[in-house]
């Protein structure tokens, strides 16, 4: 039986965490080019005093030396210093963002939906080498690569807790060994978490609310990428297909090729199809791919769609568009649309200039996020971000030149 416990905020805040590996760099110059510098907010204490307002989504961008928060018109409203390469993920409550730091997952209050100012709070979910953060339903699951531990919480409780300078109550689940993994909590309380070691990953196990293992499958080599499709069915990527969990049972959907890796999945709760990146060449070099996988968890069909010749994309340039279509930001600078069921191309939307693939995956290169029918596209070469109305195909907003080269992006 795996230990799955609930910890109070005071216990978490007193926990000790190890540091992330990686190099820190000096903060970049903070020459905000929006006409005036954004207002700074004190961290933590007064965030709960903000009154609600229909301010639209907030866009969080990382750059070398800091975090930027933009409003729905793509004006900079917050700029917080932070050292080194970091990752950002929505916390699940349409307001907060989780920032990976050496101590774990630090909470950024974007102030979305309020009249307040963004603030990088001192509230941190402890994690040894924080990795994936997965939002599903009412729950958010955080995976610590350095220990294999999973921390999950109800994100509806986050705002009130952060306003008090505390973490919400959490459940913690241990893994048998540390590994680069991921976890997702389904609506019935089942926690699905990967199986692996520092050298390899083999599959996924299912735990009930008491932490008792109820099922497992180890036929998903190098498991990476996750999502839940319609009906609360979970899908995980493998190097030879996909692993599906439904009604207490794991099943495998084989890729159309012996080697067919999907490492990132993008799902919706209105479609049975998981969209993923696809690579059928184990000896490929670089980070540009030119095919996407369309995996139907209901029919067990696994289709592959090709981008136009000479056009590639990375894991940062794939999302779901209108009517659950597949949306890919190509190296030609255009958004490429595909029918999710057939893989048939549906057209393109020109957004930015053509770009080259990164030398390392952490390097800044164009990224794509979609929220409420708007696609947000970063352009590191020009230090800008654009908002595209997917219904009309129009670029409806563009930022001024940003104070740093945009890298990671989260929209909430």
Concatenating the DSSP letter of every residue in 290-353 gives -EEEEEETTT--EEEEEPPTT--B-GGGEEE-GGG-EEEE-TTSEEEEE-TTT--EEEEEE-S-
Could you report the average pLDDT of every consecutive run of 10 residues in the chain (412 residues)? 45 34 29 29 43 84 97 97 94 98 97 94 98 98 98 97 97 97 98 97 97 98 98 98 98 98 98 98 96 98 98 98 98 98 98 98 98 98 98 98 98 96
Other CB atoms within a 10 A radius of the CB of residue 343 amount to 16
Segment (H or E) for 130 = strand 130-136
> What is the reported pTM?
0.89
Phi-psi sector, 165: left (phi>0), alpha (psi -120 to 50), beta = left
Residue 96: CA atoms inside 13 Å, Cβ hemisphere, count?
33
**Are 24 and 81 spatial neighbours (Cβ–Cβ below 8 Å)?**
no
pLDDT of residue 3: 41
Q: Among candidates 124, 112, 113, 117, which has minimal Cα distance to 46? A: 117
Task: Tell me whether strands 201-207 and 119-126 are parallel, antiparallel or unpaired.
Answer: unpaired
pLDDT of residue 44: 39
**Are 326 and 349 spatial neighbours (Cβ–Cβ below 8 Å)?**
no
pLDDT of residue 50: 61
**Residue 404 φ/ψ, nearest 5 degrees:** -150, 170
103/129 Cα distance (integer angstroms): 8
123/120 Cα distance (integer angstroms): 9
Beta bridge partners of 389: 374, 394
Widest pairwise Cα distance in the chain: 58
């Amino acid at each position: 039986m795996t230990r799955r416990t609930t910890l109070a905020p005071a216990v978490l805040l007193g926990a000790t965490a190890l540091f992330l590996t990686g190099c820190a760099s000096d903060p970049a110059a903070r020459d905000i080019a929006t006409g005036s510098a954004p207002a700074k907010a004190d961290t933590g204490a007064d965030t709960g005093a903000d009154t609600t307002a229909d301010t639209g989504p907030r866009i969080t961008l990382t750059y070398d030396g800091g975090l930027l928060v933009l409003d729905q018109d793509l004006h900079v409203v917050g700029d917080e210093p932070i050292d080194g390469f970091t990752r950002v993920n929505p916390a699940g409550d349409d307001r907060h963002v989780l920032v990976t730091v050496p101590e774990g997952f630090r909470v950024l209050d974007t102030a979305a939906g309020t009249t307040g100012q963004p603030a990088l709070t001192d509230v941190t979910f402890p994690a040894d080498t924080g990795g994936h953060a997965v939002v599903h339903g009412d729950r958010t699951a955080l995976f610590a690569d350095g220990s294999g531990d999973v921390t999950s919480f109800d994100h509806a409780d986050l705002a009130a807790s952060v306003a008090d300078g505390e973490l919400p109550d959490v459940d913690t689940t241990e893994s048998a060994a540390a590994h680069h993994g991921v976890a997702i909590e389904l609506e019935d309380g089942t926690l699905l978490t990967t199986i692996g070691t520092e050298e390899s990953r083999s599959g996924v196990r299912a735990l009930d609310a008491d932490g008792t293992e109820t099922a497992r499958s180890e036929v998903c080599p190098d498991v990476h990428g996750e999502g839940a499709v319609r009906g609360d069915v979970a899908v995980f990527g493998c190097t030879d297909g996909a692993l599906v969990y439904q009604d207490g049972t794991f099943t495998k959907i084989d890729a159309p090729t012996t080697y067919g890796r999907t490492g990132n999945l993008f799902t919706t709760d209105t479609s049975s199809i998981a969209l993923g990146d696809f690579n059928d060449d184990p000896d490929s070099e670089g980070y540009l791919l030119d095919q996407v996988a369309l995996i139907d968890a209901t029919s067990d069909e696994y289709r592959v769609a090709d981008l136009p010749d000479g056009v590639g994309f990375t894991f940062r340039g794939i999302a779901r568009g209108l009517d659950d279509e597949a949306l890919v930001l190509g190296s030609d600078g255009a958004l490429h649309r595909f029918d999710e069921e057939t893989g048939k191309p549906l057209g393109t939307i020109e957004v930015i200039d053509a770009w080259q693939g990164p030398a390392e995956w952490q390097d800044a290169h164009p990224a794509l996020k979609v929220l409420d029918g708007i696609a947000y596209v970063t352009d590191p070469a020009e230090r800008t971000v654009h908002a595209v109305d997917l219904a009309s195909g129009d670029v409806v907003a563009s930022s001024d030149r940003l104070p740093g080269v945009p890298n990671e992006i989260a929209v909430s």
